[in-house]
Amino acid sequence: MKEVILDTETTGLSVQEGHRIVEIGCIELDNLVPTKKRFHSYLNPERKVSPKALEVHGYTDEFLSTQKKFSDVVDEFLNFIEDKKLVIHNAEFDLSHLNNELKLIGKKKINNENVVDTLLLARDKFPGSPTSLDALCKRYRIDNSIRTQHTALIDCDLLAKVYINLLDQKEPTL
């Protein structure tokens, strides 16, 4: 079974306030083993990044203004995730932003039937405990020292390791 670990970074928290995606990262898993297949793109959100979002990911308006627009990468992105289960930490957030981007260009939204939300998995498994990606890395002794800021691919790599642990699988040794 092929799965895709997916993460986005955005200009802010709320689609209702017009916030947009600035980065998409995906890592393919095949039977819980990361393959070499990845999708990654920085995006021009065509709006300013909020100060809080800038603190989280560090992507400036100047840097993002030189990147492709979502409409330029959407077909490659949709082909990458097609027919695969999506594994997302806090899926509601990422899907709301992705589906907003798809709606803006007249594409059909991503169906959430084939989505695993690792935040919900973690809350079920550890009720009352912290379930942020950092907290789960600490719980499973996953080194996240590389994560000085949130970036989609680093977060995907960490989430892949967390996901394997949440499913009570051991991370494969290569």
Query: Using the 8-state DSSP alphabet, how is residue 153 labeled?
Result: H
Total Cβ atoms within 10 A of residue 150:
19
Residue in this structure with the two tokens 């991370």, named with its chain if needed: 171
Q: For the sheet with 85-88, list strands across it.
A: 33-42, 21-30, 2-10, 85-88, 115-117
Decide if 150 is catalytic.
Answer: yes
Alpha-carbon dihedral 138, 139, 143, 148, rounded to 10 degrees? -30
Query: Catalytic pick from 19, 57, 97, 150?
Result: 150
By the 10 Å C-beta count (0-12 exposed, 13-18 middle, 19+ buried), 50 is classed as middle
Q: Which residues are catalytic?
A: 150
